[in-house]
Structures are given as C-alpha cells and as structure tokens.
Amino acid sequence: MVLLRNVLIQAQGSLARLALWLDAGASEPWQRDHRRGLFSCAVGLIVVAAMLLGIEHYSPLFFLQDDNYTQFFPAMLHGCRCLEAGEFPDWNPYQFLGAPLADRGTYALTYPPTYASYALAKCLGDERYTIEIFCIGHLLGGYLAMWWCGARVGLHPWLRVALGVSLALSGYALIAGRSWYYMTPLYLWGPLAAGCYAWLSSTKYQRLATLLLGVSLGALFHAGNAQMWFYVMLGVLGATLLDYARECSADRGSVKLTICRIVALTLGVAIAAPLLLTQLEGTSGINRQGGLGTGIYEALNSILWPMPLQFSSHVDGREPTEAGVYFGSMYFFGGVFAWLALASLVEVVVRRSQCKLLHSAVWWGLVVFLLLALGPATPLWGLHQVLPILSKFSYPIKFLPFVAFFTLLWGAMVLQSIAGASRWWNLVAIVFSLASIGLTLHDASFPKPSFCTFSGNNYPALAPDIAAMFPPPSLLRVKPEMPARYPAEDYSTSLGHNFASYYQIPSVDGYDPLVSTWPASQRIATNLRNDRMLREYGVAAVLIYHWGTLDELLHREQTPQPTSRSMLRVIEVKDPRGLIWTAELDSKAFACRQKLSSFEATCAPASRASQGTLNFLYLKRSVVRCNGVRVLCKEDPLGRIQFDMPVGTTEVRLTYEPRWGSGLMLGGVLFVASLGLLTWLPRVNEVVVTARGQLLHRCKRFHDYWGVNILARNNSAYARWALVLGVGGLYRQVLTLLIPIIALDRVMAMGDMVMLRMGQFGYRLSEWAILENVACAAAFAAVIKIAMLHRTGEWKSTSERIFFQYSYAIMLALAAASIGMLLLLKLGHGGVDLRWPALLGGLRKSIPLPVALALLIVALGAMWLALAPRSKRREKHPSPVIDWLARQRRFVVGMPTAAALLTSLHLMPAMLTPARIFWVLMIGYLLLPTVARRLIWMWRWRPEPRS
C-alpha cells in the first residue's frame, strides 16, 4: 500500500488508477493511519506466532525445561486438577508430608490464565501443553502490549511492530521463559502498565486509563513472581514522583494526573491483597538469602551483537548441558535500537540535543535498571541489598527484561525525534524496523538452552511394579534418592523434586524453596536420614534412581553424565506408620481417603477422648475437624500434627485454610476507596491543591524564620551546614557524567578480568582478552576524541572540558597498559604475576606506610593552598608556586585521592578492588573540587552583623 500510494501513483495510466482503487474507502488521513497501524500490527503478530510455533515444532515442549519441568508444572497441574474436581488448591498432600500450594503464589493458582491454559491443553489432548500455551500466550500478548505502548507514546506503526517483535522474541524471554514460566507474564503486564501510564497523561478518559493501569499492576502479582511485581510497582511509583516533581516545577495548579496514578497503585495493591497477605504470612519465618548473582557486567557486548558474532556464557557461571548451545543470545533483543540508544547517550553528553527526552521516565528507567542489572559492579546494587524487602531478592540478571523494554523504547523515541520530520521518515522507519526484526528472527533461530536442559521432559509412565505398588491416589509414601539433575529420558520416574505430584504418589521430598527452608521442613529432612524415622513418617519404600557411580552418590548436586546402566532400585520399609492414629486406636482402625487438597479418615465411634496424630507436616494454618467441629491441633516433636479427639468421633478431616478473608477484606476496602477517589476526582483535586498550597506556605514561613532569624544570628555549625544545600552544580554534573563513567568503569573491569585470566587460564585466552581490552579502550578513546573535536570552543563549563580530556587520557593509558601487559606476558614466559593480589602486595612493598602518610599530608596541604580563597597577604605578595597550584586544581585534587588510595593499601587492602578504585578516582577528579571549594568557603563564611 505504501509503495502503491507514494510511488506508482506518480505514473500515468492503469498503475495510477490501480493505486487509487486500492486507496478507496480511506478518505480521511486518520483512517489511513489507523488501517496502516492495524495492518502492521497483524503482520507482526503473524511473524511472532509463526516463530514461536516453529520453535515448538523443531523442539517439542520447548518451555517444559529446568524448573518448569521439575517444580512448576507438576504443582500447577495438581492445582488445576483440584479445581477441576471442585476443590480449591490450598494444599498438596503429595510433597513434603503435605505442603501449602496456592497461597505461596509461585504456581499462579490464583491467576485465571493458568486454568485457561490447562483447559485448552485438555482440549488438545495433552496436559503437558499447559506450560506451552501459558508461555506462548503471554509472549503473543507481550507483543500486542508493546505495540500498544508504542502507539500511546506516538511511535511510527512499523517501529511499534519492531519493538513488539524484538521484545517478545528476545533471548531472555525464550531462555528464561523455558526455565521459569513466571517470567513470561512480565512481558505482557509490564508493557501494558507502561502503555496505560502513558495513555493516562494524554487522554480524556482518565478514569478508564487508571482502572486499566491498576488491573495490569494487580494481575502481574498473581502471575507467579512477586519480585517482578515489586519492581514494576517501584517503577510506576518512581515515574509518578518524577512527573509530580516536574508538575510542581512548572507550577501547575492541578494534580489530577498524580491522583490518578496513586489510585492506580492502590488498585494494584487491592487486587494483589488477597494473595499478598497470605504470602507474607507464609514466608515471614523463612531465612532467605539475597544478593546472589553477578549481573550482566561481563556480557554487555552481547546486547549489541547477535550470535554468532559473540558467544557469551551465563554470567552466574551456568553452562549449557547441550553441545553446541550457548547463552550468548540470552542478552540480545534486536540490536538496532540498542545501538541507537548507545549513540544517543554519547550525543546527549556531547551536544545535549535530546534534553527534552531526558525528562521522560523512559530515560530514568533505562539508567536505573541498567545500573541494577550490572549487579555488584555498581553502587546501586549495594543500596538494593540494604533496603528492606529488596535485600531478599537475588540475581541482577532478572532486570534484563526491564533493560530490554526501556532500551527499545528509548532507541525508537530517539530515532523518531531525529528523523521524524524528514520527508523520508516512512522509509527510514521501515528500514530500521526490518533490520531489527530480521536480526531478532536470526537470533531466535539459534538453539536456545535453558538454565538446565533435561533430555526427557515428557513424563513417561512408571514401571509396572512401581505403578502396582503405588496405585494413584496412593496412601503409601515414598522417599526418592536421585541426582539433583540427570540427563535421562525417564528422570521423572524417580519421583524426586515435584514429580510425585504429577504421578499422584505421596513423597516426603519435594522442590519448593519456600517450603524446604522452613525450620520444621529442615528438621524433618534431617530426621529422614535415620532408617528408624522412615517408618515413623510412613515411608513404605525408598526409590534409588540411577546411582551409576559412587562419585554421583557422594556429589548429588553435580550433574552426572548418562551411564549405560539404567537402575531403579526399590527398598521396601517394613511396617510403616499409617497416616492417622490415636492413643486408643491403631492406624488400621481408620479407613483413610486421600483427596486432592484434603485428607479424611473414618472409624468406629471413639469410646473416650484421646490424643491423635496425623502423619502430615504441621502448618500454621492446618485445620483438623472431628465430626465437622474444629479441634485444637499443635506440632509434635517430629513436626507432625497432634490433635485432641473428642468422645464419639467417627470422622476426622484435615485441611489447610489460609487467611483469604483478611486479604479479601483489605482488598475490598482499598478497591472501594480507589473507586471513590475516581468518582469525586475534581473535588479531591481541589482539596489536595488547597492543602498543598497551605503546606508550602507554612514550610516557607518555617524556613524564613529558622534560616534567617535564628541561624544567621550565631556563627555555629548549623549555619555552615545549611550552606551545603546550595551546592546546585553537583546534581547536574553527576547526571551529565553518569553514562561515560559507566562506560569507563566497564573498560576498567575488563582490565581486571584480564588480570584474573592471566593467572588462571592459558596464554591463548589471556592474549585474546588483552587484545579485546585494547580494542575497547581504543574505541572509547576515539569516541571521546571525536566528541572533543566536535565541542571545541563550545564547552558549557570548564569541568566538562576537563572531564573529556582526562577520559581521553585514561583510555589511552589503559590501551598502553594493556599492550605492556601483552609484552610482559610474551617476554616473561609466565614468570610475571599480574594478578590483583600480587600487584597490591608489590605496591605495599614499594611504598611504605610512612611515605604514603607523608604524601597524603603534603597533598592535602597543596589542595588547601590551591582551592582556598585569596587572602590580602597573598594579593600583595603573590607566590608563583601557589598560583601554579591554583591553575592545576584537578591535578591537585587528584593528589590527595591517589595518596589516600596508597594509604589504604596498608590499612584496608582487602576492601580495594579495581572497580572501587576506579569509582574513587572518578569522584576525586570530577566532583571533589566543587565540594572542596564549597566546604572551604563555608568554613570561612561569617554572617554579616545585623543592623
């Protein structure tokens, strides 16, 4: 259509008439744009669907791998079977002597698309398709959500298609999706929330946009991953505060948009509240370790280059279990818009031509989430590990979907801001979109590993003797002994992990960190190592699966190699305990019935009251009813359920009942309050504006009274520290230099990596690493030099010019040092130890502590002379040395920084790393002069006497 309307119509004859005929019916421009947008959206949706179906065709059950195979799908399948049988999946009797299920939130059993996926899989004739339908459906929805988000931002239709395809078929979406199913809903609800947020700012239907934003935020929590929901909520909250600050600076009288955003956040909490409260209660006693993972620091180049131009490994040390498969494509999401974003960052620093875009939440989201994804290499991750709740989260690589989303959106916005007014804009947008789509499809065509790939993910039938021993639903328990990971076709028949839930055979083992880390679960796991305790917990058989060698038996956490023998040994336990007994009645006196989410037992009427025991894991919300009446239960010394059985009891029923009512009540209150705020939005806006004006007036009066009338009367420390608030240039300076510092920090970290490799690996790997470091340093030096030539004579400030000069010098020095390291490696024949601890030890021997202290004192004195204001004596008798020091302020300030680092070599050598030293040097050279001048002036400041 574009070619026919814009090219063929210029010709005479039948081609022009054909073009006019094809364009008939779209008389208005907005109709043509709307049709063009829908057509491009349909084309992109077909491309994504075809690619996902092609992946599924060449790799059946593609998404049923790693934890999806061992943990998530069996538990989700049990929950869907419960709902199909008319029971809510609160409890799973087949794992951990009975484990909570729906209230953990990990298995998305309060999420309607889970049951819709199960129903569709049943229609297709195979329950195993549940995970496939779930993940594919969310990725297709993620494409549509990203396309709609681009439309709300105002992007070109084909750019929206490219963004949707690049996000839905990104490497992390496929690799993490086939390992952790709960990552795929983030690709749907995250862009949808961002689109609703943008729509809220530009539509007259503010109430509808607010409701959609709240629903998208709340639905994400029920999709299985509370960590991602928390990040999205923090992102929306940060964007709200940023926009509110911009509105206050613009002195706008209305705060309707801010109120709508707060209402949307409240709606999100209200929808999540029923599950949120139960999940918080269930995980409150867990000692969960956070801060794990190394971030994407070593794989930044994989964002820009597709495979096979790079073969990056997993940043957390995992290796694919399949030959010829690499993790390099996990970081790639189109490449084109990533290059545009990188180029725009250089352009922003050099010319600041995109200052309007810098005020958008997209820019801030890109910077913040990129720093968090880098992990421990940046100070922001340290702050992340100090804050409450966030300190329990791990793996910075989970920020990669946010980095992909904001990078794609930022790159498209920059491209449209640069070329949007050109008459060739349609062609430019189509070319860039096709390039991004082509690279994404090329990268998606490579085999995708999971974090742990199992060769047999089809849940084969149990052996006939095992099936006869444990007919489902079985009342006999089994204790599996198997490797934690095993590449065999029949691995699920070991009944380890959560496989017992699939085969409906009770097991004392399981795979759920939210249950296995409980103190009671750990105590039971310790007891089960004793043979006598196996009988006490009702274990009828021990299944020993595939112990090929003694080494595999001793190292269960390692992934053994497949052996030629396939063994499944069954050891029966004599006279195991039953599931229920009392002091009066033996377990044989009870007729037990194991239901999907409850346990029932009947017996003859009890002649007297006694204390009974249920051989299940005691949970805080376990409920025991005798003849329909709830009785008191507690935990016995072995972690089981002990209850009081009254006289005449004939039926005992065990259920697990979380506190859904409290969450529903809280959610209902928040929901009603949100609807009330939306209903009376104009009145609420008027009240908030009035209250804000009164508050600002009182703050001004307080500031005037205390700052002028009190602090100015006495020369105290309060007056001096009050002047620190006047340091206004620091904020802008930090923002301007943030991205170049990250780039330089990346290069310095590569240098550290080279040093480590030289001490650990062979010469060939270290030589290539050094050459890579030289190339990166030279490239950064060239970029900085071009920027310097472009900005000659147009510097906004002296600090900006000096920053580029020092950055250029650092890059050249790094390249020269890398070349020197390569020469030392070649000439020294391995005799030169360039590892970081050895370098620190050599510096400590070369520079003793007294010399370092003397250098520090001299450097501090020189800095004082250089930065202190001129006195009358110095004006009358100028000193050439002091004048020279005053002209070399950056150098003089860097002297104390370097001297302090030399002193730290002796006082705290363990705390020094290359990345930390680099950050200290950057702060010392770039920010310390402004702070030092301000502090010296503040120290000499005296208030003027009042008249």
Residue 226, both tokens: 């509370």
Q: Is the pLDDT of residue 823 over 80?
A: no
Tokens of 888: 């070399």
- C-alpha to C-alpha distance for 882 and 793, rounded to whole angstroms: 28
- pLDDT tens digits, one per residue of 561-616: 444 344 677 888 888 888 888 888 888 888 888 888 889 999 888 888 888 899 89
Residue 77 pLDDT level (bands cut at 50, 70, 90): very high
Instruction: Pick the range with the lowest mean pLDDT from 91-95, 127-131, 790-794.
Output: 790-794
Query: How many Cα neighbours within 13 Å face the side chain of 352?
Result: 12
Task: Yes or no: say if 173 and 184 are a contact pair by the CB < 8 Å rule.
Answer: yes
- pLDDT above 60 (res 738): no
Q: Which of 126, 134, 96 is nearest to 224 (CA)?
A: 134
Q: What is the pLDDT of residues 139-153, one digit of tens each?
A: 999 999 999 999 998
Query: How many angstroms separate the Cα of 149 from the Cα of each of 191, 201, 408, 619?
Result: 6, 13, 12, 44
The average pLDDT across 610-635 equals 89
* 374 half-sphere exposure, CB direction, 13 A CA radius: 19
Beta-strand relationship, 539-545 and 568-572: antiparallel
Q: Is 110 helix (H, G, I), strand (E, B) or coil?
A: coil
pLDDT on residue 301: 77
Greater confidence, 288 or 780?
288
* pLDDT at residue 317, as a whole number: 55
Mean pLDDT over all residues of the chain?
A: 75
User: What number is the average pLDDT over the span 704-728?
Assistant: 40
- Sign of the C-alpha dihedral computed for residues 501, 502, 506 and 512 taken in this order: negative
Q: For residue 46, what pLDDT is reported?
A: 94
Q: 658-667 pLDDT, tens per residue?
A: 988 888 999 9
Rounded distance between C-alpha atoms, residue 297 and residue 742, angstroms: 10
CB 924 within 8 A of CB 893: yes
Pick from 266-270, 374-378, 496-500 the range whose average pLDDT is largest.
Answer: 266-270
Give the C-alpha separation, 365 to 153, whole Å.
15
- Where does residue 449 rank: exposed (0-12), middle (13-18), buried (19+ CB within 10 A)? buried
Instruction: Kindly state the helix (H) or strand (E) to which residue 434 belongs, with its residue range.
Output: helix 425-444
Per-residue pLDDT at 19: 35
Given a contact cutoff of 8 angstroms between Cβ atoms, the answer to whether 613 and 641 are in contact is yes
pLDDT for the residue 132 = 93
- Residue 569, SS3 per DSSP: strand
Q: Where are the domains of the chain?
A: 110-444, 464-572, 714-834, 836-947
| Per-residue pLDDT band at 188 (split at 50, 70, 90) | very high
pLDDT above 80 (res 671): yes
Instruction: Give the pLDDT band (50/70/90) at residue 473.
Output: confident
Q: What is the pLDDT of residue 79?
A: 92
Distance (Å, whole) CA 900 – CA 907: 10
Q: With a cut of 70, say whether residue 364 has pLDDT above it.
A: yes
pTM, rounded to two decimals: 0.72
In this structure, are strands 633-635 and 539-545 parallel, antiparallel, or unpaired?
Answer: unpaired
For 877-905, write each residue's pLDDT tens digit: 566 666 666 665 555 656 666 677 667 66
What is the mean predicted confidence (pLDDT) over 243-269? 80
Out of 291-305, 434-448, 851-865, least confident range: 851-865
Q: Which residue has the higher pLDDT, 817 or 374?
A: 374
Comparing C-alpha atoms, which of 453, 174, 438, 432 is closest to residue 306? Answer: 438
Q: Judge whether residue 57 has pLDDT over 80.
A: yes
Is the pLDDT assigned to residue 444 strictly greater than 80?
Answer: yes
Q: How many C-beta atoms lie closer than 10 Å to residue 683's C-beta?
A: 10
Q: What stretches of 99-183 show up as alpha helix (H) in DSSP?
A: 112-124, 129-153, 157-168, 171-179
Q: Using CA atoms, how far apart are residues 450 and 68, in angstroms rounded to an integer? A: 10
528 touches 503 (CB < 8 A):
no
